Structure 1
Amino acid sequence: MASGSGPVSALWTEINRCGQNGDFTRALKAVNKILHENRDDVTALRCKIVCLIQNGGFKEALNVINTHTKSLTSDMIGFEKAYCEYRLNRVEHALKTIQGIPEQTDKLKELYGQVEDLGLPESSYELCYNASCCLIGQGQLSQAMQKLQKAEELCRKSLAEDSDVTEEDVDAELAIIHSQMAYVMQLQGRTEDALQLYNQVIKLKPSDVGLLAVTANNIITINKDQNVFDSKKKVKLTSADGVEHKLAKKQLQAIEINKALLAMYTNQADQCNKLLTSLQAQNPGHPRPVLIQVAQLCREKQHSKAIELLQRFSDKHPESAFGIKLTMAQLYLTQGHVTKACDILKSIEEFKYKPGMISALVTMYTHEEDIDSAIDVFTQAIQYYQSEQPGSAIHLSLVREAANYKLKYGRKKEATSDLEQLWKQNTNDVHTLAQLISAYSLVDQDKAKAYPQTWQFCIVMSFESQNLILLSKHLPSPDTMSFKVDVDELENSHGATYIRKKAAKVVGESQPKEQG
């Protein structure tokens, strides 16, 4: 174990640093490496649960807790279990978990109160608002909007009972509800409605600097590279005194990233680089600051320098390299280096055999007229699925696509192995059998004759000499066959080599032109 102490120690250092920077995704990757060596490491398991919770993975965290009940006792991980159940709206389970914990700490008592509130009828706008937040976290946006509308109604009704409350007071109290409504609209793609509601909140100038900063930031994300004058005004609201005490580190980093983007869009290169340098110092493994820096370099037409930067980051932080490599491939494509782009895409192991990636690689290699490399992509993918998911729909679909591709580009001999594999999976597939016999008739006529053992009726295969009679015991009987044949389609299909012979010229007669 001594030899492994160094790497493990380095991983714990990485976890601690990532936790301080709020980068729980990267911390989780480091934790998983530790658990790969020792799956029952209690400290690592607890860290994994915290990382999952911080990233909103409540179901996954609960699954880890329930899988390791012997190692993770209720007094050790009870709060996290109850919190996950609470966030998943499992009120009764959460209450039961809290009640079963021997030592009732202050944070447990606070959570118990929140869970009880969630289980009670939503008789106040605060409870309705809290319920909507849970629904947003679960992706249930329509239901969340309904809760927010109910919260607004209850808020107005509650404040109307106080004769001293003015309309301005009501609007101020509704600001947080309206900002959350706008956020739901933004997630639903209703950006115009969201923008209008966000701006209404800004005009009220709420005293909560955290609410003001989040609302202004969300307006900037809608504006993107448009309406930059408005964004420059809004960005000032994200830097008000006290914001750092109101928002989580992750929220503050998101605001800084948007500031860098805005600086790039407004051609403030120095300010953009300054912000990015600060972000990278806080979180060296986060890819987004690097991607913004690359975009800035591309705006300055420094594509080679941008690719070098991406390559360095990819080498140093392979666990965060997916988006980086996609950007590298895109840059190579814009420069016309298609083969280099393919090499980069093939190096993304976790997506190497995805149908979309296979399709993209085959298309690019075909564009370069590199048919061998395109076929190699098919071959490797088929071997992968043959090993991992033999006979699955995606496996057989790839085999068929490979066969069709090889037939299309004249690789009929190579196509026969794919067609054989397909036909063996379904010996009633007459179309595949016909393709197979046709392919063999072009590359190995003896094999074409020998492949079917008995013959039942005639198919004319060639007009060059005597008719080649090919019949298969696997083909349906004449009584059951439909002879609705599209001759043009057959002549144009992959593998067809019949060429109609012109009649010999007769001296003195004009010859009509062949049609088709």
Structure 2
Amino acid sequence: MATSAKILSALLQRTSINDHEEVLKACNASLKQSKGDLELQHIKVVALLKLDRYHDALRVLEEGGDRLKQRVSVERAYALYKVGDFEEAKGIAKGISDERGARHVEAQASYRSEDFANAATIYKNLAGSQATVEKEENDLRINSGATDAQLEWTRRGDLVQKKKLEREDLEAFETAYNAACCSVARGELGQGEVLLNRARDLCNALDEITDQEKITELLPISVQQLYVVSKLGKNEEAEKLALDIALEEIPDPSTRQIAQNNKLALSSSSLNPYLSHRLFHSTERLPKTDNLFRLQAERMQQNSLALDLLASKSNGVIRNTSNILSNSTSTLSPHINNISVLNAAAHAQSQLAKLGLKQILPLLEKRPKDIGLIMTIIQLYVLTNNHGCAITILGSFLKRLSESEAPSDQDVLYAPGLVALQVSLYTSQGRKSQIKTTLAKAASYWRHKSKPPTSLLRAAGLSLLDSSDPEHQSIARDIFATLHTQDPSSKSATAGYVASHALTSPEKVSSEADTLTPVARLIAGIDVAALEEAGVPYSPSTDTIAASRKRAMDEKPKPAKKRMRKSRLPKDYDPSKTPDPERWLPLKDRSTYRPKGRKGRQKAAEKTQGGVSGEKGAEAKAGGGDGVIKAAEKKPGGGQAKGKKKGKK
């Protein structure tokens, strides 16, 4: 029986059977007679892989032991990759040397485990060596383009070798689609839209695939187009495109979930938030082999929390976001900072201005280094036109970072985004000296790093060029010297390099100055006389704006004039005459009142305030210096004394 099994094994090696089910049946029949035959087990594993029965293939490998695993290590790595064990598949394939198939498996497993840098390196090496399989070159171009797109999305575009489009990128719809994704990831939405339309046209023009296969291939392109046109603000075109996307026809669960999300985001302004919440969470759970990439999963989580806020589930958002933030420190991760913003919005019940600040400010004591929280508070202060408090909050946060000994906190302290925020706030207050100091510190920090942010260094150099401080001018020279060395073809870097050395060492930059466009050519089409005749618009400087704001604060606001209704005005009212301010007082209480007659004048004199009048006043004045007014003496008899005695009759 063992001899017949060996004969069958040899026969199977020499024959080519297109029906893999028949191969599998033959192997199973022979393995009943000879269970330990490695040849038969190898053939069975390959047959199972051809039939997409990857879990069964792994089970056979486990039953076959280490000898079988060692013999079919490439097939084992591929089976692990297909069932979603990407890290293990990458490790096994990496250990196989001098095997082109193993490199392909390693690259695909690296791509799915989001090790895009390793995948790009492998595809580059494979493309540089001679291909051994038909159409391998086309597959390498497609997979390499997809890897470049992922590098752009994850902000590692410096590792992308090909930045410009080539003719071969526009020959197949797959390569055109990957080129479009690269453009969209870089923020070049217009070019991305053009390339997506190109990919659609190329797919429709194919004759090798059926109409149903075309629909399957076009759906991911449509989903990406929906994202691009909505970002470009073409709402009508986006709504029409969303209607053409049939979710039930998308075969990949992950693509179907993204399409559902994009359609909900497009209609979120008109759709009931509770209905949107239900539709968002109605999608099925993704399998392990088709999980979203980390960047996509983070966006989905943020959208889910935002829908929870719209559905008045603030307590749940606070609980979920607090769990995520509990293990995080000061970080530049966009996802963590967005989660922090959602946490602040949940605490504030989505209220703005002073009401929102009242609920959010106490959180700063618990999370003093939370960038998302700091940004939210600053934004609310700016919305209330309180730039002073915004600068104070940002200054306290930066001080805490500067006093920290953690290296990561220093990267946060001089992060380009935070530096730009400082410059923006200082500009609103007209603080030019603080702008230059901030940019000088940031530039001095990043110049000693291996990958400094070019945009930050360029902005710092331009700001420090017109500074009167010799130290700032020295920093500007060093900055532009570094930028010019890194990219000699950059016109802006060359111009800055020439300008920074023009006064101190012009002979050093004479050759670089000759490469710049002459001034005469730059102003060749400008009519100076016409410009002077038309007039130059005046743009007030930041100092003027700050001075006018201070003067406006010092000046007391003038009371607004009240408008009187005609029905309440007198008939003889004359608007040209100033009305009497004492018109509301009684006539006898006005300052212009003059009593008539002796009795009237005497009565008015008796009403004098602060003293006494008449005979009683004179009597009180003559009554001594003690100021006591004596009571009038009464004569005995109870009656009044008569002035004259009657004569005797």
Q: Please give the TM-score of this superposition, normalised by the length of structure 2.
A: 0.38
Q: Please give the TM-score of this superposition, normalised by the length of structure 1.
A: 0.46
Structure having the higher Rg: 2
Point out which structure has higher relative CO (alpha carbons under 8 A, 6+ apart).
1
